[in-house]
A and B are shown apart, each in its own frame.
Chain A
Protein backbone atom coordinates (compact mmCIF):
# COMPACT_ATOMS: atom_id res chain seq x y z
CA UNK A 1 0.00 0.00 0.00
CA UNK A 2 2.62 2.50 1.05
CA UNK A 3 4.84 1.57 -1.86
CA UNK A 4 2.12 2.06 -4.45
CA UNK A 5 1.09 5.34 -2.85
CA UNK A 6 4.62 6.71 -2.85
CA UNK A 7 4.99 5.64 -6.44
CA UNK A 8 1.90 7.59 -7.44
CA UNK A 9 3.05 10.74 -5.70
CA UNK A 10 6.35 10.67 -7.53
CA UNK A 11 4.48 10.27 -10.83
CA UNK A 12 2.37 13.32 -10.01
CA UNK A 13 5.55 15.25 -9.33
CA UNK A 14 7.14 14.09 -12.59
CA UNK A 15 4.12 15.11 -14.61
CA UNK A 16 3.88 18.50 -12.86
CA UNK A 17 7.51 19.25 -13.72
CA UNK A 18 6.98 18.23 -17.33
CA UNK A 19 3.78 20.23 -17.65
CA UNK A 20 5.52 23.30 -16.23
CA UNK A 21 8.34 22.83 -18.71
CA UNK A 22 5.93 22.42 -21.62
CA UNK A 23 3.99 25.53 -20.57
CA UNK A 24 7.23 27.50 -20.29
CA UNK A 25 7.98 26.65 -23.91
CA UNK A 26 4.50 27.15 -25.31
CA UNK A 27 2.89 30.03 -23.42
CA UNK A 28 5.08 32.77 -24.91
CA UNK A 29 4.01 31.83 -28.43
CA UNK A 30 0.35 31.47 -27.44
CA UNK A 31 0.71 34.95 -25.97
CA UNK A 32 1.98 36.32 -29.31
CA UNK A 33 -0.98 34.69 -31.05
CA UNK A 34 -3.48 36.09 -28.55
CA UNK A 35 -2.08 39.59 -29.01
CA UNK A 36 -2.38 39.16 -32.76
CA UNK A 37 -6.06 38.28 -32.39
CA UNK A 38 -7.11 41.55 -30.74
CA UNK A 39 -7.00 45.12 -31.98
CA UNK A 40 -3.77 47.05 -31.51
CA UNK A 41 -5.58 49.62 -29.33
CA UNK A 42 -6.74 46.85 -27.03
CA UNK A 43 -3.23 45.37 -26.86
CA UNK A 44 -1.65 48.73 -26.18
CA UNK A 45 -3.93 49.31 -23.19
CA UNK A 46 -4.09 45.81 -21.74
CA UNK A 47 -1.16 43.82 -23.09
CA UNK A 48 -1.51 40.07 -23.47
CA UNK A 49 -4.66 38.55 -21.96
CA UNK A 50 -6.58 35.32 -21.72
CA UNK A 51 -9.37 36.01 -24.21
CA UNK A 52 -8.85 35.63 -27.93
CA UNK A 53 -10.34 38.29 -30.21
CA UNK A 54 -11.54 38.15 -33.80
CA UNK A 55 -8.85 40.25 -35.47
CA UNK A 56 -6.66 37.41 -36.72
CA UNK A 57 -7.80 37.57 -40.40
CA UNK A 58 -7.32 41.34 -40.52
CA UNK A 59 -3.90 41.16 -38.88
CA UNK A 60 -2.96 38.28 -41.13
CA UNK A 61 -3.76 40.37 -44.15
CA UNK A 62 -1.66 43.24 -42.79
CA UNK A 63 1.19 40.89 -41.96
CA UNK A 64 1.27 39.35 -45.41
CA UNK A 65 0.61 42.35 -47.65
CA UNK A 66 1.47 45.53 -45.80
CA UNK A 67 4.94 46.97 -46.14
CA UNK A 68 6.81 49.82 -44.57
CA UNK A 69 9.99 51.64 -45.35
CA UNK A 70 10.72 53.64 -48.46
CA UNK A 71 10.24 51.13 -51.22
CA UNK A 72 7.24 49.25 -49.86
CA UNK A 73 8.91 46.04 -51.02
CA UNK A 74 9.13 44.24 -47.70
CA UNK A 75 5.68 42.71 -47.54
CA UNK A 76 5.22 39.47 -45.60
CA UNK A 77 4.79 37.55 -48.83
CA UNK A 78 8.05 38.87 -50.23
CA UNK A 79 9.95 38.11 -47.02
CA UNK A 80 8.47 34.61 -46.89
CA UNK A 81 9.66 34.07 -50.45
CA UNK A 82 13.18 35.29 -49.61
CA UNK A 83 13.29 33.09 -46.50
CA UNK A 84 12.32 30.08 -48.60
CA UNK A 85 15.10 30.82 -51.09
CA UNK A 86 17.63 31.21 -48.29
CA UNK A 87 16.47 28.03 -46.52
CA UNK A 88 16.33 25.83 -49.61
CA UNK A 89 19.35 27.40 -51.33
CA UNK A 90 21.52 27.01 -48.26
CA UNK A 91 20.40 23.44 -47.49
CA UNK A 92 20.70 22.17 -51.06
CA UNK A 93 23.95 24.02 -51.74
CA UNK A 94 25.55 22.77 -48.59
CA UNK A 95 24.50 19.15 -49.13
CA UNK A 96 25.58 19.05 -52.81
CA UNK A 97 28.94 20.71 -52.18
CA UNK A 98 29.52 18.67 -49.03
CA UNK A 99 28.63 15.29 -50.56
CA UNK A 100 30.86 15.89 -53.57
CA UNK A 101 33.84 16.87 -51.45
CA UNK A 102 33.30 13.99 -49.03
CA UNK A 103 33.08 11.56 -51.96
CA UNK A 104 36.37 12.80 -53.38
CA UNK A 105 38.10 12.51 -50.02
CA UNK A 106 36.81 9.06 -49.07
CA UNK A 107 36.66 7.18 -52.36
CA UNK A 108 39.63 8.41 -54.40
CA UNK A 109 43.36 7.88 -54.23
CA UNK A 110 44.51 11.45 -54.03
CA UNK A 111 48.04 12.60 -53.42
CA UNK A 112 46.96 15.61 -51.42
CA UNK A 113 43.92 14.02 -49.74
CA UNK A 114 45.22 14.65 -46.22
CA UNK A 115 45.99 18.26 -47.04
CA UNK A 116 42.52 18.78 -48.56
CA UNK A 117 41.01 17.20 -45.48
CA UNK A 118 42.75 19.62 -43.13
CA UNK A 119 42.12 22.66 -45.31
CA UNK A 120 38.40 21.81 -45.31
CA UNK A 121 38.04 20.85 -41.68
CA UNK A 122 39.83 23.84 -40.24
CA UNK A 123 36.69 25.76 -41.24
CA UNK A 124 34.77 23.91 -38.53
CA UNK A 125 36.80 25.84 -35.99
CA UNK A 126 35.72 29.41 -36.70
CA UNK A 127 32.08 30.47 -36.97
CA UNK A 128 31.09 33.20 -39.43
CA UNK A 129 30.52 35.61 -36.55
CA UNK A 130 34.22 36.03 -35.80
CA UNK A 131 35.12 37.00 -39.39
CA UNK A 132 31.96 38.90 -40.16
CA UNK A 133 33.47 42.26 -41.19
CA UNK A 134 36.14 41.02 -43.62
CA UNK A 135 33.52 38.63 -45.09
CA UNK A 136 31.27 41.60 -45.65
CA UNK A 137 34.07 43.52 -47.37
CA UNK A 138 34.78 40.62 -49.71
CA UNK A 139 31.14 40.21 -50.65
CA UNK A 140 31.05 43.95 -51.27
CA UNK A 141 34.17 43.78 -53.49
CA UNK A 142 32.64 40.96 -55.48
CA UNK A 143 29.51 43.08 -55.99
CA UNK A 144 27.29 40.54 -54.28
CA UNK A 145 25.55 42.77 -51.72
CA UNK A 146 21.77 42.43 -51.93
CA UNK A 147 21.95 39.27 -54.01
CA UNK A 148 20.91 35.72 -53.20
CA UNK A 149 24.42 34.45 -54.01
CA UNK A 150 25.94 36.90 -51.55
CA UNK A 151 23.42 35.78 -48.95
CA UNK A 152 23.84 32.04 -49.41
CA UNK A 153 27.37 31.16 -50.60
CA UNK A 154 29.42 32.65 -47.72
CA UNK A 155 27.20 30.74 -45.28
CA UNK A 156 28.18 27.50 -47.04
CA UNK A 157 31.86 28.14 -46.26
CA UNK A 158 32.01 25.77 -43.32
CA UNK A 159 32.42 22.06 -43.59
CA UNK A 160 29.72 20.68 -41.28
CA UNK A 161 27.95 18.77 -44.07
CA UNK A 162 31.23 17.55 -45.58
CA UNK A 163 32.34 16.23 -42.22
CA UNK A 164 28.99 14.54 -41.67
CA UNK A 165 29.02 12.78 -45.05
CA UNK A 166 32.66 11.79 -44.66
CA UNK A 167 31.81 9.96 -41.44
CA UNK A 168 28.84 8.31 -43.11
CA UNK A 169 30.74 7.21 -46.25
CA UNK A 170 33.55 5.77 -44.16
CA UNK A 171 31.08 3.56 -42.32
CA UNK A 172 29.80 2.04 -45.58
CA UNK A 173 31.36 -1.42 -46.08
CA UNK A 174 34.36 -1.67 -48.38
CA UNK A 175 32.77 -4.60 -50.24
CA UNK A 176 30.19 -2.32 -51.79
CA UNK A 177 32.64 -0.34 -53.87
CA UNK A 178 34.60 -3.54 -54.69
CA UNK A 179 31.45 -5.22 -55.97
CA UNK A 180 30.50 -2.15 -57.97
CA UNK A 181 33.93 -2.06 -59.61
CA UNK A 182 33.82 -5.74 -60.47
CA UNK A 183 30.46 -5.11 -62.11
CA UNK A 184 32.12 -2.40 -64.16
CA UNK A 185 30.64 0.70 -62.52
CA UNK A 186 32.72 3.83 -62.92
CA UNK A 187 33.12 6.49 -60.25
CA UNK A 188 30.20 8.62 -61.46
CA UNK A 189 27.83 5.68 -61.82
CA UNK A 190 28.78 4.43 -58.36
CA UNK A 191 28.12 7.86 -56.87
CA UNK A 192 24.80 8.52 -58.60
CA UNK A 193 23.31 5.01 -58.62
CA UNK A 194 24.62 3.53 -55.38
CA UNK A 195 25.98 6.08 -52.94
CA UNK A 196 23.32 8.78 -53.28
CA UNK A 197 20.33 6.38 -52.94
CA UNK A 198 22.08 4.75 -49.99
CA UNK A 199 22.45 8.14 -48.27
CA UNK A 200 18.76 9.08 -48.60
CA UNK A 201 18.03 9.07 -44.86
CA UNK A 202 21.22 10.97 -44.12
CA UNK A 203 20.39 13.54 -46.79
CA UNK A 204 16.89 14.02 -45.34
CA UNK A 205 18.24 14.43 -41.81
CA UNK A 206 20.92 16.85 -42.96
CA UNK A 207 18.44 18.79 -45.09
CA UNK A 208 16.17 19.45 -42.12
CA UNK A 209 18.99 20.73 -39.92
CA UNK A 210 20.45 22.89 -42.69
CA UNK A 211 17.09 24.30 -43.78
CA UNK A 212 16.34 25.45 -40.22
CA UNK A 213 19.86 26.84 -39.85
CA UNK A 214 19.60 28.80 -43.09
CA UNK A 215 16.08 30.02 -42.44
CA UNK A 216 17.01 31.30 -38.98
CA UNK A 217 20.10 33.27 -40.08
CA UNK A 218 20.04 36.79 -38.73
CA UNK A 219 23.40 38.57 -38.49
CA UNK A 220 24.58 37.78 -42.02
CA UNK A 221 21.34 38.81 -43.79
CA UNK A 222 21.22 41.94 -41.64
CA UNK A 223 24.60 42.99 -43.00
CA UNK A 224 24.28 41.79 -46.59
CA UNK A 225 20.74 42.91 -47.43
CA UNK A 226 19.96 46.60 -47.22
CA UNK A 227 17.49 46.46 -50.10
CA UNK A 228 14.03 45.96 -48.56
CA UNK A 229 12.97 43.62 -51.33
CA UNK A 230 15.71 41.22 -50.21
CA UNK A 231 14.70 41.00 -46.53
CA UNK A 232 14.00 37.58 -45.08
CA UNK A 233 11.34 37.17 -42.38
CA UNK A 234 13.85 36.71 -39.59
CA UNK A 235 15.80 39.78 -40.72
CA UNK A 236 12.69 41.88 -41.38
CA UNK A 237 11.20 41.47 -37.91
CA UNK A 238 13.76 43.86 -36.46
CA UNK A 239 12.73 46.56 -38.91
CA UNK A 240 9.09 46.19 -37.90
CA UNK A 241 9.76 46.26 -34.14
CA UNK A 242 11.85 49.37 -34.72
CA UNK A 243 9.08 51.05 -36.69
CA UNK A 244 6.77 50.13 -33.80
CA UNK A 245 9.07 51.96 -31.42
CA UNK A 246 8.55 55.29 -33.13
CA UNK A 247 4.78 55.28 -33.49
CA UNK A 248 1.93 56.21 -31.17
CA UNK A 249 0.03 53.04 -31.92
CA UNK A 250 2.46 50.18 -32.50
CA UNK A 251 1.18 47.45 -34.82
CA UNK A 252 1.43 44.62 -32.31
CA UNK A 253 -0.97 42.43 -34.26
CA UNK A 254 1.03 42.64 -37.43
CA UNK A 255 4.48 42.25 -35.90
CA UNK A 256 3.45 39.37 -33.63
CA UNK A 257 1.78 37.52 -36.45
CA UNK A 258 4.86 38.01 -38.64
CA UNK A 259 6.97 36.54 -35.84
CA UNK A 260 4.70 33.50 -35.79
CA UNK A 261 4.83 33.15 -39.58
CA UNK A 262 8.62 33.37 -39.34
CA UNK A 263 8.84 30.39 -36.98
CA UNK A 264 6.02 28.31 -38.47
CA UNK A 265 7.79 26.48 -41.36
CA UNK A 266 10.80 25.33 -39.31
CA UNK A 267 8.62 24.44 -36.32
CA UNK A 268 6.31 22.32 -38.49
CA UNK A 269 9.33 20.54 -39.94
CA UNK A 270 10.64 19.74 -36.46
CA UNK A 271 7.24 18.40 -35.36
CA UNK A 272 6.40 16.32 -38.43
CA UNK A 273 9.87 15.01 -39.24
CA UNK A 274 10.89 14.56 -35.64
CA UNK A 275 12.81 11.32 -36.11
CA UNK A 276 14.95 12.60 -38.97
CA UNK A 277 15.40 15.90 -37.24
CA UNK A 278 16.69 14.32 -34.01
CA UNK A 279 18.93 12.00 -36.03
CA UNK A 280 20.35 14.86 -38.07
CA UNK A 281 20.97 16.97 -34.99
CA UNK A 282 22.51 14.38 -32.69
CA UNK A 283 24.65 12.78 -35.38
CA UNK A 284 25.88 15.89 -37.16
CA UNK A 285 26.99 17.85 -34.14
CA UNK A 286 29.35 15.26 -32.76
Chain B
Protein backbone atom coordinates (compact mmCIF):
# COMPACT_ATOMS: atom_id res chain seq x y z
CA UNK B 1 0.00 0.00 0.00
CA UNK B 2 1.07 3.55 -0.70
CA UNK B 3 1.93 5.69 2.33
CA UNK B 4 -0.15 8.55 0.99
CA UNK B 5 -3.11 6.30 0.24
CA UNK B 6 -6.73 7.38 0.48
CA UNK B 7 -8.87 6.48 3.44
CA UNK B 8 -12.42 5.87 2.52
CA UNK B 9 -14.98 3.66 4.17
CA UNK B 10 -16.82 1.91 1.36
CA UNK B 11 -15.12 2.89 -1.91
CA UNK B 12 -12.27 0.34 -1.77
CA UNK B 13 -14.77 -2.35 -0.84
CA UNK B 14 -16.86 -1.40 -3.84
CA UNK B 15 -13.77 -1.72 -6.03
CA UNK B 16 -12.91 -5.12 -4.59
CA UNK B 17 -16.39 -6.63 -4.70
CA UNK B 18 -16.49 -7.70 -8.39
CA UNK B 19 -13.13 -9.48 -8.16
CA UNK B 20 -13.92 -11.13 -4.83
CA UNK B 21 -17.42 -12.20 -5.89
CA UNK B 22 -16.17 -13.85 -9.08
CA UNK B 23 -13.36 -15.55 -7.21
CA UNK B 24 -15.59 -16.91 -4.48
CA UNK B 25 -18.26 -18.23 -6.83
CA UNK B 26 -16.04 -19.55 -9.60
CA UNK B 27 -12.82 -20.38 -7.82
CA UNK B 28 -13.15 -21.21 -4.12
CA UNK B 29 -16.53 -22.87 -4.35
CA UNK B 30 -15.58 -25.26 -7.21
CA UNK B 31 -12.14 -25.95 -5.75
CA UNK B 32 -13.61 -26.88 -2.36
CA UNK B 33 -16.36 -28.81 -4.06
CA UNK B 34 -13.76 -30.88 -5.93
CA UNK B 35 -11.91 -31.64 -2.70
CA UNK B 36 -15.16 -32.65 -0.98
CA UNK B 37 -16.41 -34.82 -3.88
CA UNK B 38 -13.14 -36.71 -3.91
CA UNK B 39 -14.15 -38.31 -0.58
CA UNK B 40 -17.60 -39.34 -1.76
CA UNK B 41 -19.03 -41.91 -4.12
CA UNK B 42 -21.81 -40.44 -6.23
CA UNK B 43 -24.78 -42.35 -7.42
CA UNK B 44 -24.59 -42.41 -11.22
CA UNK B 45 -28.28 -41.48 -11.49
CA UNK B 46 -28.01 -38.56 -9.11
CA UNK B 47 -29.62 -40.20 -6.05
CA UNK B 48 -27.35 -39.03 -3.27
CA UNK B 49 -23.81 -39.87 -2.34
CA UNK B 50 -21.89 -41.92 0.21
CA UNK B 51 -18.83 -40.95 2.19
CA UNK B 52 -16.09 -43.37 1.22
CA UNK B 53 -12.99 -41.77 2.76
CA UNK B 54 -9.85 -42.30 0.72
CA UNK B 55 -11.34 -45.07 -1.43
CA UNK B 56 -11.43 -42.92 -4.56
CA UNK B 57 -7.73 -42.24 -4.11
CA UNK B 58 -6.69 -45.83 -3.48
CA UNK B 59 -8.81 -46.99 -6.42
CA UNK B 60 -7.15 -44.36 -8.58
CA UNK B 61 -3.58 -45.35 -7.74
CA UNK B 62 -4.44 -49.02 -8.18
CA UNK B 63 -5.99 -48.42 -11.59
CA UNK B 64 -3.70 -49.57 -14.40
CA UNK B 65 -5.27 -47.06 -16.81
CA UNK B 66 -4.55 -44.18 -14.41
CA UNK B 67 -0.96 -45.21 -13.85
CA UNK B 68 -0.40 -45.63 -17.59
CA UNK B 69 -1.77 -42.17 -18.16
CA UNK B 70 0.42 -40.81 -15.34
CA UNK B 71 3.56 -42.32 -16.86
CA UNK B 72 2.64 -41.04 -20.27
CA UNK B 73 2.13 -37.56 -18.78
CA UNK B 74 5.59 -37.65 -17.20
CA UNK B 75 7.35 -38.72 -20.41
CA UNK B 76 5.25 -36.34 -22.53
CA UNK B 77 6.01 -33.39 -20.22
CA UNK B 78 9.74 -34.07 -20.11
CA UNK B 79 10.05 -34.47 -23.88
CA UNK B 80 7.91 -31.45 -24.76
CA UNK B 81 9.74 -29.25 -22.25
CA UNK B 82 13.27 -30.31 -23.19
CA UNK B 83 12.70 -30.26 -26.97
CA UNK B 84 10.83 -26.96 -27.19
CA UNK B 85 13.24 -25.22 -24.80
CA UNK B 86 16.38 -26.35 -26.59
CA UNK B 87 15.11 -25.65 -30.12
CA UNK B 88 13.80 -22.23 -29.07
CA UNK B 89 17.10 -21.39 -27.37
CA UNK B 90 19.05 -22.26 -30.50
CA UNK B 91 16.76 -20.12 -32.66
CA UNK B 92 16.81 -17.20 -30.20
CA UNK B 93 20.61 -17.17 -30.01
CA UNK B 94 20.85 -17.15 -33.81
CA UNK B 95 18.11 -14.53 -34.23
CA UNK B 96 19.88 -12.35 -31.68
CA UNK B 97 23.18 -12.72 -33.54
CA UNK B 98 22.26 -12.05 -37.18
CA UNK B 99 21.99 -8.48 -38.38
CA UNK B 100 20.34 -8.86 -41.74
CA UNK B 101 16.65 -9.77 -41.58
CA UNK B 102 16.64 -9.95 -37.78
CA UNK B 103 13.21 -8.39 -37.45
CA UNK B 104 11.67 -10.60 -40.15
CA UNK B 105 13.02 -13.74 -38.50
CA UNK B 106 11.66 -12.61 -35.16
CA UNK B 107 8.16 -12.07 -36.56
CA UNK B 108 8.22 -15.36 -38.46
CA UNK B 109 9.24 -17.25 -35.34
CA UNK B 110 6.78 -15.69 -32.91
CA UNK B 111 3.48 -15.29 -34.78
CA UNK B 112 2.40 -18.87 -34.07
CA UNK B 113 1.99 -17.88 -30.41
CA UNK B 114 -1.55 -16.93 -31.42
CA UNK B 115 -2.44 -20.33 -32.90
CA UNK B 116 -5.12 -22.04 -30.80
CA UNK B 117 -4.14 -25.54 -29.60
CA UNK B 118 -7.00 -27.32 -31.46
CA UNK B 119 -5.89 -25.67 -34.72
CA UNK B 120 -2.38 -26.98 -34.02
CA UNK B 121 -4.09 -30.35 -33.59
CA UNK B 122 -5.77 -30.00 -37.00
CA UNK B 123 -2.34 -29.29 -38.49
CA UNK B 124 -1.11 -32.48 -36.84
CA UNK B 125 -3.99 -34.47 -38.36
CA UNK B 126 -3.01 -33.22 -41.83
CA UNK B 127 0.75 -33.72 -41.41
CA UNK B 128 0.31 -37.29 -40.22
CA UNK B 129 -2.71 -38.22 -42.36
CA UNK B 130 -2.96 -41.94 -43.09
CA UNK B 131 -3.19 -41.62 -46.88
CA UNK B 132 -1.07 -38.59 -47.78
CA UNK B 133 0.32 -36.88 -44.69
CA UNK B 134 3.66 -35.27 -45.66
CA UNK B 135 5.48 -36.37 -42.51
CA UNK B 136 3.89 -39.83 -42.70
CA UNK B 137 5.17 -40.07 -46.31
CA UNK B 138 8.58 -38.86 -45.25
CA UNK B 139 9.07 -41.35 -42.42
CA UNK B 140 7.75 -44.10 -44.71
CA UNK B 141 10.98 -43.64 -46.72
CA UNK B 142 12.80 -45.02 -43.69
CA UNK B 143 10.40 -47.92 -43.38
CA UNK B 144 8.32 -46.41 -40.56
CA UNK B 145 4.71 -47.41 -41.12
CA UNK B 146 3.10 -44.48 -39.29
CA UNK B 147 -0.43 -45.08 -37.98
CA UNK B 148 -1.93 -42.07 -36.24
CA UNK B 149 -4.69 -42.94 -33.78
CA UNK B 150 -4.04 -46.67 -34.12
CA UNK B 151 -0.50 -47.20 -32.94
CA UNK B 152 0.13 -45.94 -29.37
CA UNK B 153 3.71 -44.86 -30.02
CA UNK B 154 2.93 -43.13 -33.33
CA UNK B 155 0.05 -41.18 -31.80
CA UNK B 156 2.25 -40.12 -28.88
CA UNK B 157 4.91 -39.01 -31.38
CA UNK B 158 2.42 -36.82 -33.25
CA UNK B 159 1.13 -35.30 -29.98
CA UNK B 160 4.66 -34.43 -28.87
CA UNK B 161 5.59 -33.04 -32.29
CA UNK B 162 2.58 -30.71 -32.40
CA UNK B 163 2.91 -29.68 -28.75
CA UNK B 164 6.57 -28.74 -29.25
CA UNK B 165 5.68 -26.79 -32.40
CA UNK B 166 2.98 -24.84 -30.56
CA UNK B 167 5.24 -23.96 -27.61
CA UNK B 168 8.30 -22.84 -29.64
CA UNK B 169 7.14 -19.18 -30.07
CA UNK B 170 6.58 -18.60 -26.33
CA UNK B 171 10.03 -19.92 -25.43
CA UNK B 172 11.57 -18.01 -28.33
CA UNK B 173 10.03 -14.70 -27.17
CA UNK B 174 11.24 -15.12 -23.58
CA UNK B 175 14.75 -16.22 -24.58
CA UNK B 176 14.93 -13.28 -27.00
CA UNK B 177 13.97 -10.80 -24.29
CA UNK B 178 16.42 -12.49 -21.92
CA UNK B 179 19.21 -12.17 -24.48
CA UNK B 180 18.41 -8.55 -25.16
CA UNK B 181 18.64 -7.68 -21.49
CA UNK B 182 22.29 -8.79 -21.37
CA UNK B 183 24.22 -5.50 -21.27
CA UNK B 184 26.39 -4.58 -24.20
CA UNK B 185 29.41 -4.06 -21.96
CA UNK B 186 29.22 -7.67 -20.78
CA UNK B 187 29.05 -8.92 -24.34
CA UNK B 188 32.03 -6.81 -25.36
CA UNK B 189 34.08 -7.96 -22.41
CA UNK B 190 33.29 -11.57 -23.30
CA UNK B 191 34.31 -10.91 -26.88
CA UNK B 192 37.74 -9.78 -25.74
CA UNK B 193 38.19 -12.62 -23.28
CA UNK B 194 36.98 -15.49 -25.37
CA UNK B 195 37.63 -15.94 -29.07
CA UNK B 196 35.37 -18.94 -29.69
CA UNK B 197 31.66 -18.30 -30.13
CA UNK B 198 30.62 -21.53 -28.45
CA UNK B 199 32.92 -20.80 -25.51
CA UNK B 200 31.33 -17.37 -25.11
CA UNK B 201 27.88 -18.95 -25.23
CA UNK B 202 28.53 -21.54 -22.50
CA UNK B 203 30.63 -19.29 -20.25
CA UNK B 204 28.69 -16.04 -20.46
CA UNK B 205 25.35 -16.14 -22.29
CA UNK B 206 24.04 -19.43 -20.92
CA UNK B 207 24.53 -18.61 -17.21
CA UNK B 208 23.02 -15.16 -17.77
CA UNK B 209 19.97 -16.79 -19.33
CA UNK B 210 19.54 -19.21 -16.42
CA UNK B 211 16.82 -17.16 -14.64
CA UNK B 212 14.78 -17.01 -17.87
CA UNK B 213 15.39 -20.71 -18.35
CA UNK B 214 14.14 -21.65 -14.88
CA UNK B 215 11.06 -19.53 -15.31
CA UNK B 216 10.39 -21.13 -18.70
CA UNK B 217 10.93 -24.60 -17.28
CA UNK B 218 7.94 -24.16 -14.95
CA UNK B 219 5.88 -22.46 -17.68
CA UNK B 220 6.57 -25.34 -20.06
CA UNK B 221 5.71 -28.00 -17.51
CA UNK B 222 2.40 -26.25 -16.82
CA UNK B 223 1.81 -25.95 -20.56
CA UNK B 224 2.46 -29.63 -21.20
CA UNK B 225 0.18 -30.62 -18.32
CA UNK B 226 -2.79 -28.34 -19.02
CA UNK B 227 -2.70 -26.34 -22.23
CA UNK B 228 -2.12 -29.31 -24.52
CA UNK B 229 -5.70 -30.44 -23.93
CA UNK B 230 -6.93 -29.00 -27.24
CA UNK B 231 -4.09 -30.64 -29.19
CA UNK B 232 -4.70 -34.05 -27.67
CA UNK B 233 -8.48 -33.87 -28.04
CA UNK B 234 -8.17 -32.95 -31.72
CA UNK B 235 -5.55 -35.58 -32.52
CA UNK B 236 -7.53 -38.43 -30.95
CA UNK B 237 -10.67 -36.92 -32.57
CA UNK B 238 -12.55 -37.06 -29.27
CA UNK B 239 -12.20 -40.84 -29.18
CA UNK B 240 -9.48 -41.60 -26.64
CA UNK B 241 -9.83 -45.41 -26.87
CA UNK B 242 -6.42 -46.94 -26.27
CA UNK B 243 -4.61 -43.79 -27.33
CA UNK B 244 -2.17 -42.08 -25.00
CA UNK B 245 -3.74 -39.37 -22.83
CA UNK B 246 -2.49 -36.89 -20.28
CA UNK B 247 -3.87 -36.69 -16.75
CA UNK B 248 -5.91 -33.57 -17.47
CA UNK B 249 -7.53 -35.25 -20.44
CA UNK B 250 -8.32 -38.24 -18.24
CA UNK B 251 -10.06 -36.01 -15.67
CA UNK B 252 -12.27 -34.77 -18.46
CA UNK B 253 -12.93 -38.19 -19.98
CA UNK B 254 -13.71 -39.92 -16.65
CA UNK B 255 -15.72 -37.10 -15.15
CA UNK B 256 -17.53 -35.53 -18.05
CA UNK B 257 -18.05 -38.55 -20.26
CA UNK B 258 -17.81 -41.41 -17.79
CA UNK B 259 -19.79 -39.68 -15.02
CA UNK B 260 -17.39 -40.93 -12.35
CA UNK B 261 -17.51 -37.73 -10.32
CA UNK B 262 -15.73 -38.97 -7.20
CA UNK B 263 -12.88 -40.58 -9.11
CA UNK B 264 -12.52 -37.59 -11.39
CA UNK B 265 -12.46 -35.23 -8.40
CA UNK B 266 -9.74 -37.29 -6.75
CA UNK B 267 -7.73 -36.93 -9.97
CA UNK B 268 -8.34 -33.17 -9.92
CA UNK B 269 -7.11 -32.93 -6.34
CA UNK B 270 -3.91 -34.77 -7.24
CA UNK B 271 -3.38 -32.30 -10.10
CA UNK B 272 -4.04 -29.37 -7.74
CA UNK B 273 -1.34 -30.62 -5.38
CA UNK B 274 1.02 -31.02 -8.32
CA UNK B 275 0.44 -27.44 -9.53
CA UNK B 276 0.74 -26.08 -6.00
CA UNK B 277 4.10 -27.79 -5.60
CA UNK B 278 5.28 -26.39 -8.92
CA UNK B 279 4.16 -22.87 -8.02
CA UNK B 280 5.79 -22.92 -4.60
CA UNK B 281 8.97 -24.11 -6.28
CA UNK B 282 8.67 -21.28 -8.80
CA UNK B 283 8.12 -18.61 -6.12
CA UNK B 284 11.20 -19.81 -4.27
CA UNK B 285 13.22 -19.58 -7.47
CA UNK B 286 11.95 -16.08 -8.19
CA UNK B 287 12.92 -14.99 -4.69
CA UNK B 288 16.43 -16.24 -5.17
CA UNK B 289 16.61 -14.97 -8.69
CA UNK B 290 19.94 -13.40 -9.46
CA UNK B 291 20.10 -10.12 -11.32
CA UNK B 292 23.36 -9.30 -12.99
CA UNK B 293 22.37 -5.91 -14.29
Contacts and interface: CB of A to CB of B under 8 A. Distances in A.
Interface of A: 10-11, 14-15, 17-18, 21-22, 24-26, 28-29, 31-32, 35, 46-48, 96-98, 100-101, 103-110, 113, 116, 119-120, 123-127, 129-138, 153-154, 156-159, 162, 170, 174, 177-178, 181, 186-188, 190, 212, 215-216, 218-219, 222-223, 234-235, 237-238, 241-242, 245, 255-256, 259, 262-263, 266-267, 269-271, 274, 277-278, 281-282, 285-286
B189 interface: no
28 contacts: A14-B97, A21-B91, A28-B165, A32-B122, A46-B132, A47-B126, A97-B19, A97-B22, A98-B19, A100-B19, A106-B5, A108-B8, A109-B6, A113-B1, A132-B251, A132-B256, A133-B268, A138-B29, A181-B4, A186-B6, A212-B113, A218-B117, A223-B256, A237-B234, A238-B233, A238-B238, A266-B116, A281-B113
Of all A-B residue pairs in the complex, the 6 with the closest CB atoms, nearest first, are A47-B132, A266-B114, A134-B30, A101-B19, A157-B26, A104-B15
Interface stretch (B75-83, B103-111, B199-207): B103-111
Contacts of B125: 241
A143 B94 CA distance: 53
B119 interface: yes
Given A105-B1, A219-B229, A234-B118, A119 B20 contact: yes
A259 B131 CA distance: 21
Given A108-B7, A178-B4, A130 B272 contact: yes
Contacts of B16: 100-101, 104-105, 116
A262 B117 CA distance: 11
Contacts of B118: 218, 234-235, 237-238
A242 B11 contact: no
B238 to A, nearest CB: 6
Contacts of A48: 126, 132, 134
Nearest to A208: B114
Contacts, number: 292
B19 A107 contact: no
Contact of A124 (B30, B98, B279): B279
Contacts of B229: 129, 218-219
Contact of A14 (B3, B98, B272): B98
A67 to B, nearest CB: 19
B1 A28 contact: no
Interface residues of B, number: 94
A118 to B, nearest CB: 11
Contact of A22 (B11, B108, B127): B108
Given A123-B23, A241-B237, A282-B177, A218 B116 contact: yes
B119 A25 contact: no
B90 interface: yes
A47 B134 contact: yes
A100 B15 CA distance: 5
A187 B237 contact: no
A18 B95 CA distance: 7
A278 B222 CA distance: 20
Given A18-B98, A234-B116, A241-B234, A177 B4 contact: yes
Contacts of A29: 115, 123
Contact of A241 (B25, B101, B122): B122
A216 B19 contact: no
B26 A25 contact: no
Q: Which of A48, A98, A190 has the most CB of B within 10 A?
A: A48
A262 to B, nearest CB: 6
B148 interface: no
A270 B97 CA distance: 23
A10 B233 CA distance: 42
A30 to B, nearest CB: 11
Q: Which of B19, B122, B134, B264 has the most CB of A within 10 A?
A: B19
Contacts of A98: 19
B107 A274 contact: yes
B182 interface: no
A109 B5 contact: yes
Contact of A101 (B15, B98, B237): B15
B59 interface: no
Contact of B2 (A107, A245, A256, A270): A107
A238 to B, nearest CB: 6
B244 interface: no
Interface in B20-67: 20, 22-23, 25-27, 29-31, 33-34, 37
A98 B226 CA distance: 24
B286 interface: yes
Contacts of A222: 233
A116 B268 contact: no
Interface in B245-281: 248, 251-252, 255-256, 261, 264-265, 268, 271-272, 275-276, 279
Contacts of A129: 226, 229, 248, 251, 271
A162 B131 CA distance: 49
A222 B133 CA distance: 28
A31 B126 contact: yes
